[in-house]
Amino acid sequence: MSEDTLSFHEMGLDDRLLKAISQLGWSEPTPIQEKAIPLALDGKDILARARTGSGKTAAFCIPVIQKILTAKQTSSTEQCVKALVLTPTKELCHQAYRNLMDLTSSCSREVKVLDISPQVPLPTQKPMLMEKPDIIVATPTRALAHIKAGNLDLRQSLELLIIDEADLLFSFGYEDDVRGILSNLPKIYQAFLMSATLSEDVRALKRMVLHNAVILKLEESQLPEASQLTQYHIKCEEQDKFTLVYALMKLNLLRGKSIIFVNEVNRCYKLKLFLEQFAIPACVLNSELPVNSRCHIVNQFNEGLYDIIIASDENLLMDPKTKPLDPEKKKDKKRKKKDKEYGVSRGIDFQNVSNVINFDFPCDVDTYIHRVGRTARGDNQGSALSFVSVKDMDLLVEVEKTLSESGSEYTHHNEHRVKHCLHSSQLTQNQAVSTIITINTESLSE
């Protein structure tokens, strides 16, 4: 650690909090933690922009816990809700909750934490809310529902409001919910906004939530350096994608855990069925699965039961305020109800991911950054590979330009390596197409 770096021990943190930090193996704060924690402890409103994997969650968890511990030591106020943590997805709620539970492992009697994001009936959670936990974690919709039901009263007691992944809130359709929550808060409270980007939505939230805020904008690239994260792309058409995935797997060109991103739920199952034809196991993650199933699948992936997870990012494909779905897609939507509080590219804490494959190229630059940000986290190495069709070329150019401007280096894949990869595999193009046709006509129709 450099002489100029502020350590956790120099931040005036409670010994119980320092013990938990040590048990988590955090030897020194990340840049965002080093800057944000002292300001938060000093009572400042904060707007912090830092990339995925930078430690933003702990940057607000630590000061929230410290302020609650300090308040309980210096006054004998009755038990009440002191902090509300809002995130756009249930998966992010679960991640924030786990962070808070880990950090309160040595003071769990003094600091109570409750995650109310699970979609159980409101009366089921009412008894837990009646105990007035110190910290509540929720999606905006869930928090407002409990406020309207009279289960949650924040007007008299709330001191801290935290919004994580703030740039996703409005795009997930939460603007009205956030306004409803703000109208039920006290006039004075401290607020933190954490975001990977400073979009117009974040600026709008800043005007709604923050007062004389300190803006922390770390001087860093949006993705890790090229020495840590290698980014490739392969120019191919739709009919080549399945063959390429097979070849990459069978030739062991992708080592370690891999996340394969697709743009639609049906694509998850189609690709999974294709890989299973060649004894390549994979699990599927999408918005149609119940939240408990999604958490279970992520845990299985993190524990090594699966090395490949196929995830859909369909929630991010279209702003809900834009054009409606066409009739054919409406029929598909009737099959299963999708969960709007689901998010993959940023909403889930995947661990030790070596590779990200964009089987379907993302719909915009932000989605590309957040998908690729699932690998090369912390000090780990990672690689990202994107399949790019002719219709995706303009988006690819935009991605390369944005990354170049932000200081990230984009690596181009050599075309002859792709052809060599295909010719070296024992699967021919005709076999792959035949397998895909079988899946389309038989398996998916069931």
Per-residue confidence band for 60, with pLDDT thresholds at 50, 70 and 90: very high
pLDDT at 432 over 70: no
pLDDT at 304 over 50: yes
Distance of CA 207 to the CA centre of its chain: 24
What is the chain's percent helix, strand, coil content, to nearest 5? 45, 15, 40
Q: What pLDDT does 290 receive?
A: 82
pLDDT digits (tens, 9 = 90+) for 369-379: 889 988 987 77
Instruction: Give the bridge partners for 353, in sequence order.
Output: 257
- Output the pTM of the full model: 0.70
Distance of CA 329 to the CA centre of its chain: 26
Q: How many CB atoms lie within 10 A of CB 335?
A: 10
> Is the domain defined by 8-217 classed in CATH 3.40.50.300?
yes
Domains 8-217 and 229-314+337-443 share a fold: yes
Per-residue confidence band for 409, with pLDDT thresholds at 50, 70 and 90: low
SS3 (DSSP) at 368: helix
Q: Residue for token digits 């150019």?
A: 397
Q: What pLDDT does 315 receive?
A: 52
Stretch 109-119: mean pLDDT: 95
pLDDT at 424 over 80: no
Q: What pLDDT does 272 receive?
A: 95
pLDDT at 330 over 90: no
Q: What pLDDT does 323 receive?
A: 35
Per-residue confidence band for 231, with pLDDT thresholds at 50, 70 and 90: very high
CATH class label, 229-314+337-443: alpha beta
**In which element (H, E) is residue 260 found?**
strand 257-262
Q: What pLDDT does 251 receive?
A: 85
CB 224 within 8 A of CB 195: no
pLDDT at 328 over 50: no
Which sequence spans correspond to the domains of the chain?
8-217, 229-314+337-443
Q: What pLDDT does 327 receive?
A: 36
Stretch 314-342: mean pLDDT: 45
pLDDT digits (tens, 9 = 90+) for 168-202: 888 788 999 999 999 999 999 999 999 877 778 88
